[in-house]
Amino acid sequence: MKIDKNIEERANQWLNGNYDEQTKLKVKELLENDPAELIECFYKTLEFGTGGLRGKMGVGTNRMNIYTVGAATQGLANYLKKEFAALDQIKVAIACDSRNNSDLFSQTVANIFAANGMKVYLFEALRPTPELSFAIRHLGCQSGVVVTASHNPKIYNGYKAYWNDGGQVVAPHDTNIIDEVNAIKSIDDIKWSGGESNITIIGEDIDKVYLDCVSKLSLSPDAIKQNSDMKIVYTSIHGTGITLIPRALKEVGFANVHLVKEQSEPSGEFPTVVSPNPEEVTAFKMALDLANEIDASLAIATDPDADRIGVAVRDNSGEMVILNGNQTASIVTYYILTRMKELGRLTGNEFVIKTIVTTDLIVKIADSFSVNHFDVLTGFKYIASVIKEQEGKSKFICGGEESYGFLIGDFVRDKDAISCATMVCEAAAWAATKGQSLYQLLVDIYSKYGFYKEGLLSIVKEGKSGAEQIKAIMDKMRANPLTLIDNEKVIEVKDYKTSVVLNTLTGESKAIDQLSSDVLQYTTDKGTIVSMRPSGTEPKIKFYFSVREMFDGVDKFDGANTVAAARIARIKSDFEAL
């Protein structure tokens, strides 16, 4: 296999530079024996996407290792020194998850920031991503980093960079940081050590303050007290959630929480699952088995850095069913707004946020309470950005995305599975006081606002050729826009890359008031919505499907669900053929 000249040059720089001997031996081995893998390791430099820096671990510019982490950190440090030049002391906070090499990478990050003269707050051990976001604001930091690859398989790791508002970096900072990283031509430009005295270890002191903020979100303490013995199953899937979620549930008043012991030990090998993703049924299996064994009301699972949450509840037949992210977000949004109204806390100057691929049911709920809403691009950093923009103008209540991420209150500026876990359990306790299960509450919501059913198709395309295939699919869809979806007429096409929305009935085009993003979205005359986009964090192209059905009376829900499921299946089948 012929290796591109630029790729070979990059590999030779690693062979001849001041890299450790083990790294050089691996590069040499790839050059001599595995040119295909060498190309994958060196054909590009990792860039910040919707979730920051993320990739497979290994040698090369396109892999997560101490050198790519080091270059990213030095680039970020250089940018911080420019942006905050007026400050006497720049401060950063650092955390990591349970993945292999996460502790090594986080210590590397800490050392580099410290060597650049910055005050570094380093968590003593693994901690959830939302706590890192909280710590940035609490400690008055200008930036922060959490080393994690979220829900990706064990061969991945990542690096999320945060700004002084506690949210992930957004434009123009993200591209400016990349420019600074790209300006580093040698690892000799990186300050690897020399400022260790600038590092302060943090832990329980931050845990206490953060958990106190979580507890203060509670809206129904009496309902929790009445149902404190409600059986709850929790699994951290070998991740960081085990450090805070059992404690958070206990502090708000839940006394009957059962842990999936086989998955409670943090481990980067994730030995009991193929992928530590609460969106996947297989990752939930042990929690569901335990829930059935003890007859629990609900089960909760979180991903390795505890920003995503999966929830399973009992349906009307007593079977445990896993809610999707849209359903969890809708339940929590409805519960919070209902209780705030009952408590007289809605003033007419509140808002919620969702991403453009998240269910419109949240909009319907917000409208019914006269609460404003914002639609943002996919990526929680855009939710954080709106919260920052609205500070002092309007009060943020909650917001989320279909991919199992949700945030309540503004003391964290990223998705937060800890606060969401306590609120889901509280909503279940509140429903129980009314003689309802959480599932029955969801059906009531559907009965009131309309039934929205969603589906997701992810097509994996690995490596350089995969990226090219994904681009070709998006180019094809733009060049030949759909006119029919499941025999429903397409009436609107939104192209977030060109920032144009086309009304296909009138031919009228208008601008979309959003940042540019590689997303296409179709809407039909029956309200079906299909969105497609390349993932910003994984080698995938994602298709999101949403259909709407109305039904009269909760006893008609099962029939509506069957019809909606058939519609989703037909649409999904059409897109699988792409």
Catalytic positions, please? Answer: 150
Compute the distance between CA of residue 297 and CA of residue 260 in angstroms, rounded to an integer. Answer: 15
Compute the distance between CA of residue 457 and CA of residue 321 in angstroms, rounded to an integer. Answer: 20
Give SS3 for 71.
Answer: helix
What tokens does 70 get? 């080091």
Compute the distance between CA of residue 184 and CA of residue 309 in angstroms, rounded to an integer. Answer: 38
Task: Report CA-CA distances (Å) from 119 to 134, 192, 270.
Answer: 17, 15, 33
Compute the distance between CA of residue 32 and CA of residue 29 in angstroms, rounded to an integer. Answer: 5
User: How far is Cα of residue 418 from the mean position of the Cα atoms in its chain?
Assistant: 13
Give SS3 for 162.
Answer: strand
Alpha-helical segments (H) within 398-489:
417-433, 438-449, 463-479
| Strand runs labelled E in 227-275 | 232-235, 257-259
β-pair type (199-202, 372-376):
unpaired
Nearest residue to 130 via CA among 343, 397, 411: 411
Give SS3 for 194.
Answer: coil
DSSP 270-319: -TT-SS--TTSHHHHHHHHHHHHHHT-SEEEEE-TTS-BEEEEEE-TTS-
**DSSP label of 263:** G
Compute the distance between CA of residue 85 and CA of residue 79 in angstroms, rounded to an integer. Answer: 10
**What count of other Cβ atoms lies within 10 Å of the Cβ of residue 196?**
11
Q: Are 503 and 491 in contact (CB under 8 A)?
A: yes
**Cα dihedral sign for 470, 150, 391, 249?**
positive
Nearest residue to 539 via CA among 98, 142, 56: 56
Three-class secondary structure assignment of 443-468: HHHHHHHCEEEEEEEEEECCHHHHHH
Q: Are 146 and 97 in contact (CB under 8 A)?
A: yes
